[in-house]
Amino acid sequence: MVEFGGWDMPVEYSGIVDEHLAVRTRAGLFDVSHMGEIEIAGADALKAVQHITSNDASRLSNGQIQYSALTTPEGTFVDDVLTYKLADDHFMLVVNASNIIKDFQWIAARVKDVGGDAAAVNTSSRYALLALQGPAATAVLQSLTGVDLSSIKYYWFATGEVASVRVTISRTGYTGEDGFEVFAPPSSAERVWDAILQAGASAGVVPAGLGARDTLRLEAAMRLYGNDMDETTTVVEADLNWIVGWKKESFIGADVLKRQKAEGAPRKLAGFEMLDRAIGRHGYDVFVDGQKAGVVTSGTQTPFLKKAIGMAYLPADRTAPGTEFEIEIRGRRMKAVVVPMPFYKRQK
Amino acid sequence: MYPSDLKYTKDHEWVKIDGGVARVGITDYAQKALGDVVYLELPEVGRTLKKGEVFGTIESVKAVSELYSPVDGEVTEVHSALVQHPEEVNKAPHDSWMISVKVTGGQDGLLDAAAYSELTK
């Protein structure tokens, strides 16, 4: 167990490699109750969400979800979030555990700036969150719910019961596999957890921890706040232009992001694979033409692809796939090459 | 659980000394703490080591750790097959020797199996 954002979290149950492969080939169950929820409600809720997040929330239907950024005036990340449209006047942002307090203070103040009829509430303690991820996820969860899971498309959600517990079922995840995240009342979460593991036993569903969550999300090239982006890196630099609503009216940081999009940012997050036998990890320095030119943000040996991969900020003109650079690993410069992301894409 | 023909260090290496030559590896406790081992970096033959000196690096999916020499001596052999298959360290830690060292100093400070078991409780 490790301390993470004020929670005691299991790093691994049966082992990172074992759990990682289970999620890629069968399914794994993660307790991600540490994630935070901040709800924004009122007649002007959409206006507030549009102001504080980069993506265009006006394109969401009720029951739909989008990946987005809570942005600073500099176009950098206060956090990365999932925006759930619960109703025309009610949104929920799912935020990172370590940012709950910061995000809520930021959001509450910005919602006030916008004015009108909108208020933010930190509802994190009302939800436990379980993630069932992997090719067997649908069949296993379907055996426990009356909700027709095939009717929930990717990045949509529905409410219903799982194991007789009232929940919200969201077709989302952080692994690169198909799967669901189940929001349950904390008092009933254990019942849902036990029911899923029991129902999934014959399909080989295993509990999975933070360690496998990290290697899985990295193979899928999903960013991790605090590693791959933070308050010093912009949405454009993080190569997440697709989560910016370029055509919407305006939002915090829009000017900077539009300028960076037009003129190009000096650096960009890129995927890499090691050429030398070594792992480039978070915080290691990157060298281009012998000069320090960036930093590794995430890196590991991935259990499924069996390669040392990672992400790094590189000078923007050195991010074309095939471009070689070096990473300083324990005093030695080791070769790496830029590769396209994601590293892993599931067969559909 | 910990073989009685091996000696152990507080840094979780094991050492098997036979005729003045020590074979060195890491303990079952250490491999469990590291998790899935993916890389092993070992020294060149001929390098002299002081007790407690770093002789290599072991890297698992989740962490990097240094390897410390349990004795003074000179590296006479490096287990290159293990470098190619570092996952063997997880499967059979007490058979996965990493280096052989011709011992030049004393062997004080090493723990026997019972004392090491106690330490890792």
- Nearest-by-CA chain B residue for A12: B35
Task: Determine, yes or no, domain membership for A247.
Answer: no
Asked if A143 and A283 sit in the same domain, the reply is: no
Asked if A42 and A117 sit in the same domain, the reply is: yes
Asked if A284 and A312 sit in the same domain, the reply is: yes
Q: With H, G, I as helix, E, B as strand and everything else as coil, classify residue B70.
A: coil
Of A17, A278, A279, the CB nearest to B36: A17
pLDDT of residue A173: 98
Asked if A162 and A132 sit in the same domain, the reply is: yes
Q: Is CATH 1.20.1640.10 the right assignment for the domain spanning B7-107?
A: no
Domain limit, last residue, from A72, A93, A125: A125
Strands B13-18, B7-8: pairing kind: antiparallel
Where residue A329 falls (left for φ over 0; alpha for ψ -120 to 50; beta otherwise) is beta
| Domain count along chain A | 3
Task: Determine, yes or no, domain membership for A100.
Answer: yes
Structure tokens at A33: 């109750």
Of A277, A300, A330, the CB nearest to B61: A300
pLDDT of residue A248: 95
pLDDT of residue A1: 66
- Nearest-by-CA chain A residue for B65: A330
Task: Determine, yes or no, domain membership for A240.
Answer: no
Instruction: Tell me A116's DSSP state.
Output: S
How far from the centroid of its chain's Cα atoms is residue A85's Cα? 18
Task: Determine, yes or no, domain membership for A287.
Answer: yes
Are the beta carbons of A15 and B35 separated by less than 8 Å? yes
Of A211, A277, A303, the CB nearest to B39: A277
pTM, 2 dp: 0.92
- Nearest-by-CA chain B residue for A17: B36
pLDDT of residue A102: 98
CA of A303 to nearest chain B CA: how many angstroms apart?
Answer: 8
The half-sphere exposure of A245 on its side-chain side, counting CA atoms within 13 A, is 23
Asked if A183 and A323 sit in the same domain, the reply is: no
Complex ipTM: 0.78
Task: Determine, yes or no, domain membership for A257.
Answer: no
Exposure of A247 by Cβ count < 10 A (0-12 exposed, 13-18 middle, 19+ buried)? exposed
pLDDT of residue A39: 98
Per residue in A253-294, pLDDT (tens digit) is: 999 999 999 999 999 999 999 999 899 999 999 999 999 999
Asked if A157 and A29 sit in the same domain, the reply is: yes
Domain residues for the domain of A96 are 36-125
Q: Work out the pLDDT band at B1, boundaries 50, 70, 90.
A: confident
Report the candidate in B112, B113, B79, B81 with the shortest Cα–Cα distance to residue B97.
B79
Q: Cα–Cα distance between A274 and A308 in angstroms, integer?
A: 6
Are A311 and A221 a contacting pair, CB within 8 Å?
yes
Of A11, A277, A308, the CB nearest to B62: A11
Task: Determine, yes or no, domain membership for A248.
Answer: no
Asked if A118 and A173 sit in the same domain, the reply is: no
Q: Which residues of A touch B61 (CB under 8 A)?
A: 16-17, 211, 215, 300-301, 303
Whether B107 has a pLDDT exceeding 90, the answer reads no
Asked if A24 and A169 sit in the same domain, the reply is: yes
Domain positions in chain B? 7-107
- Nearest-by-CA chain B residue for A298: B62
Q: For chain A, which ranges sit under pLDDT 70?
A: 1
Per residue in B29-74, pLDDT (tens digit) is: 999 999 999 999 999 999 999 999 999 999 999 889 999 999 999 9
Are the beta carbons of A17 and B59 separated by less than 8 Å? no
Strands B37-41, B21-26: pairing kind: unpaired
Domain limit, last residue, from A98, A125, A152: A125
Are the beta carbons of A15 and B38 separated by less than 8 Å? no
